[in-house]
Structure 1
Amino acid sequence: MTSTATEPGPRPQRARTAPESVRLDGVARSFDTPQGRQDVLRGVDLELRSGEILAVVGPSGCGKSTLLRLIAGLDRPSAGALRIGGTALAGTDERTAVAFQEPRLLPWRTLEKNVALGLPRGTPAAEGRARVRELLRLVGLEHAAGQRPREVSGGMAQRASLARALARSPQVLLLDEPFGALDALTRLRMQDLLLEIHAAEPTTVLVVTHDVEEALYLADRVLLLRSLREDPASPSLDRIVEVPGARPRDRADHALADLRVDLLAGLGVDAHRPAAPSSPASITPASTTTASTPTASTTEHLS
């Protein structure tokens, strides 16, 4: 018995391929400027594990977006090699998809038709419509399928952009500051949505962000890049931080707070933690004070 278009029916049977790993060996990128050759990335040796979420943080100008563009095949390295699933990367690759800070939706198309732009070439019409409906449900936009970008909020537009990137079932998903233009509350909700999407449709994810807390909440590992302008003799990769715990994580976890302080220090930002008392003798007995002194746990929470 053939189901009608109004019946939900079974989900379309699409080829589900495992997420791919990404390997960078000695990758560098330089640009010619009026002041001479400028190194943006140098000596990047890195492997994105299959199915992981890797966040990239670093000071402005350290090459975060350049790194993403190289993996996306939108730029070529000046030196070194990149591989996806063991295959050398040469230009853009059908296994990857990119979403940027701006949704970049076509204003004259509905959200449904914008999402459909991400489908692989040659997708049969019925299968494509089913896939778009599936993605709109996944990102909570099935009710807004017929609306145009100007008729929806920024968060809804960004959800449509994510759905478009997922339309081809990418094995590597690259996100360049995807929530940077959103208000704080919408940003938190989008972080949770990304984790829900990753659980529903696993892929290898690289997300560039300026938000250390966002990086620690989303990622399995956080990559800290250094600015070559400030440290011209060193490689770009400063350190990789393993983030403990399973996702979704407790945003108030003290272990994440400690990692946040460590990463902020790597970015040259002082966390302004209050100094601990040098010895018990320096603490005034509570019986002689008129106001209570904050406990160590309170100052830790406030920092």
Structure 2
Amino acid sequence: MAITAPITVRSHPAHPVAVRGVGRTFPPRDRGGRAKAVLADVDLDIAAGEIVALIGASGCGKSTLLRQVSGLDAPTAGQILIDGTPVAGIDDRCAVAFQEPRLLPWRTLAQNVAIGLPRGTDRTAGAQRVTELLELVGLGECTGYRPRQVSGGMAQRASLARALARNPGVLVLDEPFGALDALTRLKMQDLLLEVHAAEPTTVLLVTHDVDEALYLADRVVLLGRPDGAPTSAPAGVRSVVTVPGARPRDRADAQLALLRAQLLEGLGVPSHHVAHDADAHHSI
């Protein structure tokens, strides 16, 4: 889906993110149980305005790391800095969009987006901003609709608009397109790139889809446990891949096919399961 409405580029700042030696250990659930170390010694620098995708096996701590960045959870070791200032609690510099839209069913799309506006926003200015954002995500004619009246893709677009309403310096996306059908997912990927061009911000994205990561991100970070480590071992950064080429990219680009094979091998998918020719396209 391409944006047809005029786009006003806003000049709010994108913030750099620094992850320094971050670890997260969860206490035992039951008396006598064992604590569970999910992350250990995670170091990562994200430049202002960069799109970085996190991939890794289920349970390796991708969403946990997102929660540390946004302040929804606190690391048990290390620290996270946004624009040089440590994150301490829920951080107004961040906005989060999840796999499910989580819209309030009794409110219109416009009213749901307005929830994301910073506190103290002038009513007239806020209404104008909500209208602008709904136009930006292609929902300008649906402002009065309620969530039950729109498709899953439209609801997810409204969720993205709500996150942008905060004017975040860092946008955190936790598998935002994972619940959508394949065609809608591709359209939402294109929409995210168009929105990023119009609303430049730093984006940290979790996805299980290697093709999605390579299409959207400047860099792809593979999280996982060290080779030979037990399944109870905490995860860390296994590798960081820089994706060549300017966005939007050709999904069938030969360079992306090679990086796809490399990342899939890092995820434990044997190379003989991956087609290496330039015309191959894989989505997992």
One-letter amino acid matched to 2:279: H
- Write the distance in 2 (CA, Å) between the matches of 1:235 and 1:157: 33
- Write the distance in 2 (CA, Å) between the matches of 1:212 and 1:274: 12
Match of 1:140 among 138, 141, 144: 138
- Write the distance in 2 (CA, Å) between the matches of 1:233 and 1:149: 41
Q: RMSD between aligned alpha carbons?
A: 2.2
TM-score, normalised to structure 1's length? 0.85
Shift of 1:271: 3.9
CA deviation map 1:123-150 (0-9, x unaligned): 0010000000000100000111100000
- Write the distance in 2 (CA, Å) between the matches of 1:301 and 1:23: 37
> Structure 1 regions of 5+ residues with no counterpart?
1-9, 276-296
- Write the distance in 1 (CA, Å) between the matches of 2:224 and 2:78: 19
Listed as ranges, the matches of 1:268-279 within 5 Å are 268-272=268-272
- Write the distance in 1 (CA, Å) between the matches of 2:235 and 2:280: 35
Structure 2 counterpart of 1:265: 265
Shift of 1:168: 1.5
- Write the distance in 2 (CA, Å) between the matches of 1:154 and 1:26: 38
CA deviation map 1:6-27 (0-9, x unaligned): xxxx97x97x332000111110
- Write the distance in 1 (CA, Å) between the matches of 2:15 and 2:280: 41
> Structure 2 regions of 5+ residues with no counterpart?
1-6
Partner secondary structure for residue 187 of structure 2: helix
The 8 Å contact of residues 61 and 227 in structure 1, kept in 2 or not, is answered as no
Bigger mean CA offset, 16-25 vs 62-71: 16-25
Structure 2 counterpart of 1:81: 79
Work out the percentage of aligned pairs sharing the same amino acid: 62
Structure 1 residues 268 and 112, CA gap change in structure 2 (3 angstroms): same
- Write the distance in 2 (CA, Å) between the matches of 1:232 and 1:142: 48
- Write the distance in 2 (CA, Å) between the matches of 1:274 and 1:43: 31
Match of 2:164 among 152, 163, 166: 166
Structure 1 residues 300 and 256, CA gap change in structure 2 (3 angstroms): closer
- Write the distance in 1 (CA, Å) between the matches of 2:49 and 2:148: 34
CA deviation map 1:94-144 (0-9, x unaligned): 111000000000000000100000000000010000000000100000111
Structure 1 residues 274 and 226, CA gap change in structure 2 (3 angstroms): closer
- Write the distance in 1 (CA, Å) between the matches of 2:69 and 2:266: 24
- Write the distance in 2 (CA, Å) between the matches of 1:32 and 1:49: 33
Listed as ranges, the matches of 1:275-286 within 5 Å are none
Listed as ranges, the matches of 1:1-303 within 5 Å are 16-33=11-28, 34=30, 35-227=33-225, 230=230, 236-272=236-272, 301-302=279-280
Larger RCO (CA under 8 A, 6+ residues apart)? 2
The 8 Å contact of residues 136 and 163 in structure 1, kept in 2 or not, is answered as yes
One-letter amino acid matched to 2:236: S
Partner secondary structure for residue 301 of structure 1: coil
- Write the distance in 1 (CA, Å) between the matches of 2:170 and 2:61: 19
- Write the distance in 2 (CA, Å) between the matches of 1:120 and 1:247: 30
CA deviation map 1:233-280 (0-9, x unaligned): 6761101000000000000001000000000000001243689xxxxx
TM-score, normalised to structure 2's length? 0.90
- Write the distance in 2 (CA, Å) between the matches of 1:106 and 1:27: 34
One-letter amino acid matched to 2:182: A
The 8 Å contact of residues 59 and 227 in structure 1, kept in 2 or not, is answered as no
- Write the distance in 1 (CA, Å) between the matches of 2:89 and 2:122: 26
Larger radius of gyration: 1
- Write the distance in 1 (CA, Å) between the matches of 2:225 and 2:114: 39
